[in-house]
Structure 1
Amino acid sequence: MSLLEVKDLSVSYGAIKAVTDVNFYVNEGEIVSLIGANGAGKSTTLLTISGLIKAQSGQISFAGNDLFKQMPSQIVANGISQVPEGRHVFPGLSVLENLQMGAFLRHDREEIHADYEKIFEHFPVLKERRNQDAATLSGGEQQMLAMGRAMMARPKLLLLDEPSMGLAPLFIKEIFRIIQQIQKEGTTVLLIEQNARTALAIADRGYVLETGKITMTGTGTELLNDPQVKKAYLGG
């Protein structure tokens, strides 16, 4: 059984249909990339999985549980964390306090402290700046903090929305290396990314979303080599 299964999902903003009859699944242990142009419905799909947007129709199940019956806090508690587009770190709070916010549903204090150290192993710059206001970090450092904050909830499934947006090439390379490391350590990843080439290169499988509908699917390699995908998203 798939860890995450999305069936016939439709989401509208008033009269505007953002997502129409979308179907896809994510197996445990995979990196799955969802690619498409701006406005294709990618972020809407993730926000609906997280319970932050209400679906018009369809079904989303996670580990066999119906997510439509759960509040966003329950969805986090059951194992889904999202790193939002634009990072959205908490200004006025330190790096360490932002990480604490990621663990707000947990009560295992000793293990929380152990997880801080694990995050600092992934992102050494965050340890150096742990007492610094998160708003004063660079864009790449804020992205690392947003990912670390999400991982503090110990998710089974990590939702990543445009993690490379606005970052310098060196930071992008590091972010994608860490995504692969997170997967190797046992976290399943659903990745939305405008940098389609890099996203598909690390993906086990991928889906192409166009104007709210899934139009193609395949392994990451298959989509990288598909002439239509190359023309539309890879600049070739």
Structure 2
Amino acid sequence: MLLEVEDLSVNYGVIQAVKGVSFKVNEGEIVSLIGANGAGKTTILKTISGLMKPSGGKIVYEGHEIQKQKSQKIVAGGISQVPEGRRIFAGLTVLENLQMGAFLRKDRDGLKKDYQEVFERFPVLRERKNQDAATLSGGEQQMLAMGRALTAKPKLLLMDEPSMGLAPIFINEIFDIIQAIKQQGTTVLLIEQNASKALAIADRGYVLATGNILMTGTGQELLANEDVQKAYLGG
């Protein structure tokens, strides 16, 4: 068990955004959280990353509770996040953005190799490595956000709406890349509005509604579920 979230509750002031959510992520899986806007998905990822503190419950990563740890220690422990809206650093070059992802790493030789791997995975980033990251297209910025997270050498990659706002040609490419990342040994916890795409590549999924988990199953089981189809897949 790589990650176990137990009875997690998170408040925004007086509003309870997450209400006693529990789920597990095994090593080597893609696990997808799906649900409507406002279901609490992004809040859960931010809490795992240490950007928000829970009001109750536990987050256990590699056997240790991390819900009270600072986000820097959580990243150093092997959890990286690709945030919603990409959040690349404008005014910095593509290469400098990648270097920000590797900020906590000390192994320079390993870093050079990993930059090369990112450039092999995303050739457009190599072509534009000296360009201001703000000049990239939306799809290219998403690739940069993914590459930046991967330079931290995560064991667990948290992805928040990677296909949002992208052209269809980029959406397919992003989901292919997520599968390739898994095949290279990185575990992925994925939040995605495009539920059909997310469940198609997920080993397991959880359906959230207003802060609670309604349903769980394999990706294929949830894809075939009539209630899921009606609510999230336009079926």
Distance 2:101 2:43 in 1: 22
Deviation (angstroms), 1:110: 1.1
Report the equivalent of 1:54. Answer: 53
Report the equivalent of 2:223. Answer: 224
Q: Does 1:135 align with 2:134?
A: yes
Report the equivalent of 1:88. Answer: 87
* TM-score (structure 2 length as normaliser): 0.99
Report the equivalent of 2:38. Answer: 39
Deviation (angstroms), 1:65: 1.2
Q: Does 1:173 align with 2:172?
A: yes
Instruction: Give the root-mean-square deviation of aligned CA atoms.
Output: 0.4
Deviation (angstroms), 1:70: 1.4
Q: In the TM superposition, what whole-angstrom CA distance separates every residue of 1:121-170 from its partner, at most 9, and x where no partner exists?
A: 11000000000000010000000000000000000000000000000000
Distance 1:87 1:41 in 2: 19
1:105-120 counterparts in 2 under 5 A?
105-120=104-119
The gaps in structure 1 that reach 5 residues or longer are none
Instruction: Number of aligned residue pairs: give it.
Output: 235
Deviation (angstroms), 1:14: 1.1
Deviation (angstroms), 1:69: 3.1
Report the equivalent of 2:148. Answer: 149
Distance 1:10 1:57 in 2: 5
SS where residue 87 of structure 1 aligns? coil
Q: In the TM superposition, what whole-angstrom CA distance separates every residue of 1:62-98 from its partner, at most 9, and x where no partner exists?
A: 0011112311000000000000000000000000000
Distance 2:150 2:66 in 1: 20
Distance 1:140 1:68 in 2: 32
Report the equivalent of 1:79. Answer: 78
Identity over aligned pairs, percent? 71
Distance 2:22 2:67 in 1: 16
Report the equivalent of 1:185. Answer: 184
SS where residue 69 of structure 1 aligns? coil
Distance 2:114 2:215 in 1: 38
Report the equivalent of 2:96. Answer: 97
Q: In the TM superposition, what whole-angstrom CA distance separates every residue of 1:19-72 from its partner, at most 9, and x where no partner exists?
A: 000000000000000000000000000000000001000000100111123110
**Aligned AA (1:225):** A
Distance 2:178 2:197 in 1: 12
Distance 1:122 1:169 in 2: 19
**Aligned AA (1:160):** M
**Aligned AA (2:166):** L
* TM-score (structure 1 length as normaliser): 0.99
SS where residue 38 of structure 1 aligns? coil
